[in-house]
Amino acid sequence: MKVIEKIIELGDGRSITIETGKLAKQADGAVVVKMGKTMLLATVVSAKDAKADVDFMPLSVEYKEKFSALGRFPGGFMKREGRPSDYEILVCRLVDRALRPLFPADYHAETFVSINLISVDADDMPDALAGLAASAAIAVSDVPFSEPISEVRVARIDGKMIINPSRTELETADLDMIIAATMDNIMMVEGEMSEISEAEMLEAIKFGHEAIKVQCQVQVELAELTGKTVKREYCHETNDEELRQLIVDKTYAKVLAAARLQNPNKHERSDAFGAIKEEFIAEYSEGKDALEINKSLIGRYYHDVEKDAVREMVLEDRVRLDGRKTDEIRPIWSEIDYLPGAHGSAIFTRGETQSLTSVTLGTKLDEKMVDDVLYRGKEKFVLHYNFPSFSTGDARPSRGISRREVGHGNLAFRALKGMIPSDSPYAIRVVSDILESNGSSSMATVCAGTLALMDAGIKIKNPVTGIAMGLISTKGAEKYAVLSDILGDEDHLGDMDFKVTGTKDGITATQMDIKVDGLPYEVLAQALDQARLGRLHILGKIKETISEPREDLKPHAPRIVSIEIPKDMIGAVIGPGGKIIQEIQESTGAVLVIEEIDNKGVVDISANNKEAIDAALARIKGIVAIPEVGEIYKGKVKSIVAFGAFVEVLPGKDGLLHISEIEHRRLNTVDEVLKEGQIIEVKLIEVDAKSGKLKLSRKALLPKPEKEEK
């Protein structure tokens, strides 16, 4: 067994070790990446041949966290890992988006990259190591790959940039980004920020890239040590250059002319381009000049013609498929309070992209419970994004939540979550249903989410808007066009998909995929500045619909009042076996949730009406109140005994009203005056210092009888 290791020094006493040759040796490539106690096993296996008529890269990336990595049992009845969590799906997407562009364009064999978290320190963030592990596994295999990549997390803590911070350090960061790059080029960026500037974001990207260069060089050296610098030979495409040239000659001018019609309707544009292809097929499938039609090849070559023609139009004419200028935003309209049953709702429509978003408010009982390997807890704010097939006019069934929906929802969640007040007592669920899609629906979700939250009366710190930017460029960006508010077509045929969200004060989240090499930072800077202007334009449109959160919640929304009680009174409010709290909830209709926070009891009282909250509040205040000598109380006679009556002066607190303290006259029996259940006023005249028992008087509140004259 020949084990090979390479070490990457992080410069702060920490190091990353890449080991190969010990585990999973039947895979095409396998490595173990270690940082402290955290270990990732990454493998790659690629089929020797491609399936027939496959003209894309069938790459599958899986990231799986083992509960045993932290010495934990999985939750649930089965006690084994099940379907991937949202967090695992998000890590898969981070790795997939960075790797996919670097496989050869003509490589079509099924390829599976598997990353397993096999050991972990609870304070480590293994997602920052997953991209490095996946790329290193490919580097020590014979699977064709243009060059290594790596990913790092960049955080800014107390003004200082840090590579791959710990979970504890990240809690105080105002910038948290995952950056993927090759030795020379940025490939992918995703993260969240606390309203930072465009210049600060670029600084973070550059800082992360410097660390990535070192990690890529180590992978090059590792490949040399393992003898895997020569990759496997393959032939996954059969090409016909004569047919390719014929399609260019016969269709390019027609496609360019169709593009220059600048039709704003997506389906009509698609039909026009499709008609040109069908016309070509019809012309060359009959007669003496008939070709042996290979529709798969024709489809691929014609797609390239479409792409090249549209890109030429944008670069030369500085106009886009739907007739807009490069920095022009599509028409926007929005509406709030569309759903009368929701606690908040909004429609946001930009061009042919539309989101219907609702907000639901709940109590602590509605908070999302999270039981992942590295995090167990609750989330007060959640955002769910749904992308039904009818939004694009496709006839296909729904097969559950896709990875794309998880990823797009997470981007919108990160954009908005920093604007939710930290002292909000509500559990908040935002649901975005995409009803139309042509261009960034995740950014429409951010805008609709902002509107719906303000409609619900949530006092967000600042409204958030988002925009998707695109890029069309020549090699080396000698000529380029930065496109604001991109169409779906422009995303597909362009060189960059750059989503930016933010407030009037700065950026809150971003997601960027770059598809070309050698993109200068100056182009990124222009894209960011153009995005800022676009965001501010959209913000102005939103404020025309609602400029600030509503003053109050909707009438049917739950009301929550929080009060603090002494820690030692928590048990008194709950009662034996929960008897007291259950009785309060049943009698008032309010819902009570009690927690111990910072050595104090915090009681959340929620109901749909003020009367129920006030009633519950009075009961709790009565329980935690300390009886004071001299105070007058209105109490209920709980029981009558020979020597007096026990009166409940506060919830759960009874005092003795001695028979001699009922009236000024002498009584033979208590029931001459009192009955059980009767409400009377009494005065607290003494609290026994030793026992704490309460002594009450009724006669102290009655006028003294006048003395009889002799």
Condensed to tens digits (0 to 9), the pLDDT of residues 632-653 reads 988 899 999 999 999 988 877 8
| 386 domain residue, yes or no | yes
Same-domain check for residues 221 and 346: no
Domain count along the chain? 5
* 279 shares a domain with 206: no
When comparing pLDDT for 484 and 518, which is higher? 484
Q: Is residue 203 part of a domain?
A: yes
Q: Which residues constitute the domain of residue 157?
A: 4-226
pLDDT band at 423 (very low <50, low <70, confident <90, very high): confident
pLDDT digits (tens, 9 = 90+) for 330-355: 999 999 999 999 999 999 999 999 99
Write down the pTM of the prediction. Answer: 0.87
697 pLDDT higher than 90: yes
The mean of the pLDDT values for the chain is 92
Same domain as 166, residue 272: no
Lowest mean pLDDT among 107-116, 207-216, 590-599: 590-599
The residue that leads in pLDDT, 507 or 623, is 507
Instruction: Identify the domain boundary among 196, 226, 256.
Output: 226
Please indicate, yes or no, if residue 235 is contained in any of the structural domains: no
The CA-based dihedral angle spanning residues 370, 376, 377, 380, taken in that order and rounded to the nearest 10 degrees: -40
Within 8 A by CB and 6+ apart from 429, the residues are: 359, 360, 362, 366, 382, 383, 384
Least confident of 37-51, 196-210, 351-365, 515-529: 515-529
Give the CATH number, domain containing residue 15: 3.30.230.70
The CATH number assigned to the domain holding 693 equals 2.40.50.140
Q: Are residues 613 and 640 in the same domain?
A: no
Q: Establish if 479 belongs to a structural domain.
A: yes
Answer yes or no: do 27 and 131 share one domain.
yes
Q: Are residues 12 and 124 in the same domain?
A: yes
At 475, the pLDDT band (50, 70, 90 cuts) reads: confident
Beta strands 694-697 and 653-658 are: parallel
Burial of 251 (0-12, 13-18, 19+ CB in 10 A): buried
Question: What per-residue confidence (pLDDT) applies to 404?
Answer: 94
497 is known to lie in a ligand binding site: yes
DSSP one-letter code for 297: H
29 with 44: CB under 8 angstroms? yes
Is 371 within any annotated ligand binding site?
A: no
Highest mean pLDDT among 218-222, 661-665, 691-695: 218-222
Residues 103 and 410 sit within 8 Å (Cβ to Cβ): no
Q: What pLDDT band is residue 288 in, cutting at 50, 70 and 90?
A: very low
**Separation between Cα atoms, residue 385 and residue 441, nearest integer Å:** 9
Which residues contact residue 344 at a Cβ distance below 8 angstroms, ignoring those fewer than 6 apart? 336, 337, 358, 359, 361, 452, 453, 454, 455, 456, 457, 458, 554
Domain identity same for 47 and 188: yes
Specify if 327 maps to a domain: no
CB atoms within 10 A of CB 26: 7
Phi, psi of 358 (to 5 degrees): -120, 155
Residue given tokens 């960059």 in the structure block? 496
Which of these three, 504, 519, 545, is where a domain ends? Answer: 545
- pLDDT (0 to 100) of residue 708: 54
| Residue located via tokens 């607290």 | 684
Task: Answer yes or no: is 236 within a domain.
Answer: no
**Do 576 and 642 reside in the same domain of the chain?**
no
Considering the domain architecture, whether residues 616 and 635 belong to the same structural domain is answered as no
Q: Tell me if 305 is assigned to some domain.
A: yes
Section 126-138 average pLDDT: 97
For residue 375, the model assigns a pLDDT of 86
Whether residue 212 is predicted with pLDDT greater than 60 in this model: the reply is: yes
Q: How far apart are CA 146 and CA 144, in angstroms?
A: 7
CA 629 to chain centre: 55
Identify whether residues 311 and 261 lie together within a single domain.
yes
Q: Report whether pLDDT(626) > 90.
A: no
At residue 102, the pLDDT reads: 92
| Whether residues 190 and 136 fall in one domain | yes
User: Are 614 and 636 members of one domain?
Assistant: no
